[in-house]
Structure 1
Amino acid sequence: MKRHKGPAPRPANDNSDFADRLRAARPGWRDAILGAIGWGAAMSLSAQLALWLSMAALTSHYWSLSALVFAGAALAWPPSLALIRFLAFGRSRETAFAAAFLCLSVLTIGITAAIFAIIYRNFYAQWHGEPFTKLWLLQLAFTTASALYQFAVLGLRLYLPLGLAFLFGASWLLARSHRQEKLPSRPVVP
């Protein structure tokens, strides 16, 4: 009888890789705080440059928009970092780069859009109906959808052209510092 020379099959309910991924995904407080400040500053600088290029910063909302973009990016950094480490655990640097690019872009834009939607909804709340009625729920849904649409049309321009360069740079740095953790070796069961 020939013995199988590969790794032993694992039972379907073996979640040890998942637990290892979760442990590896937890960022340290220093990486989370300093990275959030740096990423927020980079995205804020990108928004300021975009405002200067498009309208010579002739808007009364210059600093409000800068603060919005900073807050969205700073709040997006810690979960992005954890998700990047979770997705790239035990994988190559190319995978870490792709995970960083995807997570940073999606979470930064998503969290900033959510903050914008909250601010937008709070402004229009004074004209909405009584809370938790059918009318109020419809107004909440459509106001939020309008805010997200407006952010997609007008707000995404704040990330170009400098934000894209910062995104590539941050993804490259995160991929370069990525350690390809070895998956724990499993004992071979005869």
Structure 2
Amino acid sequence: MEKFVNLKGVAAPFNFINIDTDKIIPKQFLKTIKRTGLGKHLFDEMRFNDDGSEKEDFILNKEPYRSSNIIVAGDNFGCGSSREHAPWALSDFGIKCIISTSFADIFYNNSFKNGLLPIKVTADQREALMADAKDKENPELEIDLPSQEIRRPNGSVIKFEIDPFRKKCLLEGLDDIGITMEKSEEIQSFESKMSSERPWL
């Protein structure tokens, strides 16, 4: 998993509430178990018309938001069915951080496991960041994970909380497999001990 330390980029104002995982990546695109290739289908029903053409009024189809790597979202982002394809699609599109007042629990947990940083802020903080993102002349935010800070274009800073273990995993680029491999010596020692003490297993 790619390390997440500092991120600076265009923030898209995504002022919708209750964006569920079927909106993020519709069910017809869940036929793959690969983490790549889903970005082109991100928010498919919101981004595209039935003939495949882009919907001109959708935020990610506009400049400068086509290159967004941060989303400032409405309440309860990632609700609905449990599908790890949702953070896969966001990451494959280029989104690395989502800022909201609240997230669905399963989506929130899946995001960390896939190198995507979900940040919880207050309603007032979200509105300030939403206003920043709507400023097409300078919609950039900076995320400093070590300092747990969101740096706004006007120079002010918003602090955020994050579980220390999840922070460590993002900083070091550790997914579940990576965490397990950190214990490879202990695992090998245990396996060797079991082989000598219980050779019939």
**Structure 1 length normalisation: TM-score?**
0.23
Task: Give the structure with the larger strand fraction.
Answer: 2
**Structure 2 length normalisation: TM-score?**
0.22
Question: Per chain length, whose mean CA-contact separation is higher, i.e. which structure has more relative contact order (CA < 8 Å, sep 6+)?
Answer: 1
Which structure would you say has the larger Rg? Answer: 1
